[in-house]
Amino acid sequence: MLIENIILKNFRNYEYQEISPKKGINIIYGRNAQGKTNILESIFLSSTARSHRTNKDTDLIRNLQQGYFIKIEGKRDEEPFSIDINCTKITSRSNKRIIKVNDISLTRTGQLMGVLNSVMFSPEDLTVIKEGPSERRRFLDILISQINPSYFYALQEYFKIIKQKNALLKSVYEGGKNRDLIEIYNLKQAKTGSKIIKERKIFIEQINMKSKQNHYDITKGIENLDIRYDCDIPDYSGDENDFYKAIDKIKDKEIRVQSSILGPHRDDIEILLDGMNIRDYGSQGQQRTAILSLKFAEMQIIKEKTGKKPVLLLDDALSELDLLRKRTLLDKIDTNQTFITCTEKRKYMTLDDNISFYFVNKGTVKSI
Ligand SMILES: Nc1ncnc2c1ncn2[C@@H]1O[C@H](COP(=O)(O)OP(=O)(O)OP(=O)(O)O)[C@@H](O)[C@H]1O
Ligand SMILES: [Mg+2]
């Protein structure tokens, strides 16, 4: 996977910018708040159709403008590809987004998955450890969607079912009618929900094996990392009938609280360090290292599944690590192309590293 050209128009603090990244390591450096992360964000967005730091597309539109445009051109193996994202404001809160791949408009966002594979590490990723389960589910969902578009569709379907079921629970609670309809939604929820849990479990098993090894390497065998899927459905072996029985049992409670309270939208991932929950037990450095081990595992899995090395995006990722850990990590990077943001040109790079430098200053980028 190789990005050869990026065009940003009215995206974040960029009015108009063209960047031509190179193979190897691209260091994007500059003072704080100049637009370094914004570049990585535009790449991640073109890869996953989501920003890593906001769910609101309007945040991405340059202040006082009516829309943004991103174009990314590159190669998958030797085959050229292009991705265009054109977003236009409709009202102050809503917008219309058109995504094109090789100049053809996509009819579903899912079609973008896998066109440009990327793995991002950003300070926000620490929320996977520090925050609640929804951050961990989001991490997992973005990742599985990238390598398995049918998972992305199943998720969309599942959330639609939950939304409709919740509306129904509310109306049953308020009016007492249509109670028998809940059964239909429960059947649908159990069917699609089972698919999601199954995929997540398979995936967690793979990522656990790999991140455990990565963590072992980075810590020179001192720490043991373990990741497990934590499913709340009692006695659930993966059979959708068991899922159905479990939600059928709590029907009255769900009506009372007017919400679907069991299923993959409530599950969690446990991240354990030496058998203890890393969130309460791990130091800053241990948490950072664990996330990096996880991210490298993500990269290895994408490579295995797609046969392509993803583009690696490291936003401020190495800043708190000591020299040895930085070097170990850089040596572990096995990509065609990596983007690293930092506030100054790095001293720990040797001349063997295949590096290009870009200086960012107030929304303009200069190749140095
Ligand atoms: N929609 C927008 N319109 C205009 N400017 C924006 C918009 N969104 C963000 N910005 C500006 O972009 C800048 C931040 O960009 P970015 O997050 O890329 O900084 P950075 O160079 O990565 O800084 P740091 O080193 O602190 O991480 C800020 O000055 C912010 O005000
Ligand atoms: Mg930044």
pLDDT in tens, 303-348: 898 888 999 999 987 776 777 777 777 777 778 899 999 888 766 5
pLDDT band at 112 (very low <50, low <70, confident <90, very high): very high
- Verify that 112 and 133 share a domain, yes or no: no
- Verify that 179 and 256 share a domain, yes or no: yes
- Verify that 300 and 355 share a domain, yes or no: no
Tokens 């929820």, located at residue: 189
Look at residues 307, 323, 350 and tell me which one is the last residue of a structural domain. 307
Q: Give the ligand whose atoms come closest to the C-alpha of residue 361.
A: 1
Look at residues 307, 328, 352 and tell me which one is the last residue of a structural domain. 307
CA distance 287 to 3: 31
| Average pLDDT over all residues of the chain | 91
154-172 average pLDDT score: 96
- Verify that 10 and 137 share a domain, yes or no: no
- Classify residue 189: in a domain, yes or no: yes
CA of 60 to the centre of ligand 1 (A): 10
Q: Give the ligand whose atoms come closest to the C-alpha of residue 32.
A: 1
**From the CB of 35, is ligand 1 less than 6 Å away?**
yes
- Verify that 231 and 245 share a domain, yes or no: yes
Q: Check which CATH number belongs to the domain holding 270 and give it.
A: 1.20.1050.90
Per residue in 207-239, pLDDT tens?
Answer: 999 999 999 988 888 999 999 999 989 888 889
Protein residue whose Cα sits closest to atom 30 of ligand 1: 33
- Verify that 154 and 260 share a domain, yes or no: yes
CA of 31 to the centre of ligand 2 (A): 9
The structural domain count of the chain equals: 2
- Verify that 180 and 290 share a domain, yes or no: yes
- Verify that 243 and 315 share a domain, yes or no: no
- Verify that 219 and 288 share a domain, yes or no: yes
Protein residue whose Cα sits closest to atom 11 of ligand 1: 13
pLDDT band at 351 (very low <50, low <70, confident <90, very high): low
**From the CB of 186, is ligand 1 less than 6 Å away?**
no
- Verify that 196 and 328 share a domain, yes or no: no
CA distance 184 to 157: 15
129-151 average pLDDT score: 88
- Classify residue 122: in a domain, yes or no: no
Of the listed ranges 58-67, 145-154, 199-208, 344-353, the least confidently predicted one is 344-353
- Classify residue 123: in a domain, yes or no: no
Q: Give, as residue ranges, everything with CB less than 5 Å from ion ligand 2.
A: 37
Q: Check which CATH number belongs to the domain holding 365 and give it.
A: 3.40.50.300
**From the CB of 33, is ligand 1 less than 6 Å away?**
yes
**From the CB of 37, is ligand 1 less than 6 Å away?**
yes
Atom of ligand 1 nearest to the CA of 341: 22
The share of the chain scoring above pLDDT 70, in percent, equals: 97
- Verify that 291 and 315 share a domain, yes or no: no
- Verify that 84 and 139 share a domain, yes or no: no
**From the CB of 12, is ligand 1 less than 6 Å away?**
yes
CB 264 within 8 A of CB 140: no
Which tops the pLDDT comparison, 30 or 323? 30
CA of 208 to the centre of ligand 2 (A): 29
Domain carrying residue 94 = 1-117+309-368
CA of 113 to the centre of ligand 1 (A): 26
CA of 32 to the centre of ligand 2 (A): 7
246-264 average pLDDT score: 96
**From the CB of 34, is ligand 1 less than 6 Å away?**
yes
